[in-house]
Amino acid sequence: MNNTIRSRRNQRGMSAPGWMAVAAIFGFLLITFFRVFPMYYDNFKVNSVLESIQQDQNIDSKSKRAIWESMNKRLSIQDVDSISRENVKISRKDGKTTVTVSYETKTDYIANLFIGGRFVETIVIDR
């Protein structure tokens, strides 16, 4: 019995394989964060552009072209390249203009794997 108490007292901390496993898990999570964060950051920028279009009184809300041109300029300034004209749907009904941006984005992950995201953002311009 005295040997088991002494052996437990000598075992302190993690072994080298344990530390390697923790480092591998941490590295995996870190790589995932650095691959996924830019997609959500671009989506945040798209939301910001849509909100600024919604609040800008100088844009003719009846003109699809004026909305797209203003949106395209703002996306260019924000450095968002994943949005094209095909991803934007502008419709007018009952005096309200609805702008919907629907797009997919992909990024390489590890080796031949990729991570993708599908985003849909909508605003209503009521003027």
Q: pTM for the complete prediction?
A: 0.80
The answer as to whether 31 is a domain residue is yes
How many structural domains are present in the chain? 1
The answer as to whether 39 is a domain residue is yes
pLDDT, tens digit (0-9, with 9 covering 90-100), for 5-63 = 666 666 678 889 999 999 999 999 999 999 999 999 999 999 999 999 999 999 888 89
pLDDT, tens digit (0-9, with 9 covering 90-100), for 49-105 = 999 999 999 988 889 999 999 999 999 999 999 899 999 999 999 989 999 999 999
DSSP codes of every residue in 51-72: HHHHH-TTS-TT-HHHHHHHHH
The answer as to whether 58 is a domain residue is yes
The answer as to whether 40 is a domain residue is yes
How far apart (Å, rounded) are the C-alpha atoms in residues 70 and 56?
10
The answer as to whether 1 is a domain residue is no
How far apart (Å, rounded) are the C-alpha atoms in residues 49 and 78?
8
Residue 37 lies in domain: 15-125
Angle 16-55/64-77 helices, nearest 10 degrees?
140
